[in-house]
Amino acid sequence: MLSSVYKLLWITCALPDKNGKTSGRPKFKAKHYYNSFSYPQLSNTSIVKNANGRYCINLPKIGLVPFVYNRPVPLGFKVKTGTVIREADGLYISFTIEDKTVPLRRAEIQPTENNSCMY
């Protein structure tokens, strides 16, 4: 995610704005500026037990990281992403899970010219 943001910054730094001025090179933030980062490619197979019996998550580019597995992922649910969050008392990981059996809600009223704010 951050690499795509940096790539966009480097591309747009040379492009002038409406007054003809360029923004200059990007100014990168220090490592303590960001309080969280995401792993959009996690899955249920990323959660494993190590040799000591502790639950670990296999994070790309980092490896096995032990964590407290206090609430198991329910059956039928799939782990979509994981966000590592830095708090004052330590690091936490938050999983986003998905259940395919939950139906998508559709709007009952479809926008048309009669029921919208079009001129």
83-97 pLDDT, tens digit per residue, is 888 888 888 888 888
Please check whether residue 109 lies inside any domain of the structure. Answer: no
Mean pLDDT confidence for 30-37: 83
Residues 50 and 87 in one domain: yes
What backbone phi and psi angles, to 5 degrees, belong to 11? -70, -45
Residue 119 has a pLDDT of 57
- Inter-CA distances, 43 with 59, 73, 79, Å: 10, 11, 5
Q: In this predicted model, what pLDDT tens digit does every residue of 43-79 receive, in sequence order? A: 888 888 888 888 888 888 888 888 888 888 888 888 8
Could you tell me the residue range of the domain that residue 27 belongs to?
1-31
Residues 48 and 19 in one domain: no
Residue 87 has a pLDDT of 87
Residues 47 and 80 in one domain: yes
Terminal CA-CA length for the chain: 40
- Mean of per-residue pLDDT scores for the chain: 81
Residues 57 and 70 in one domain: yes
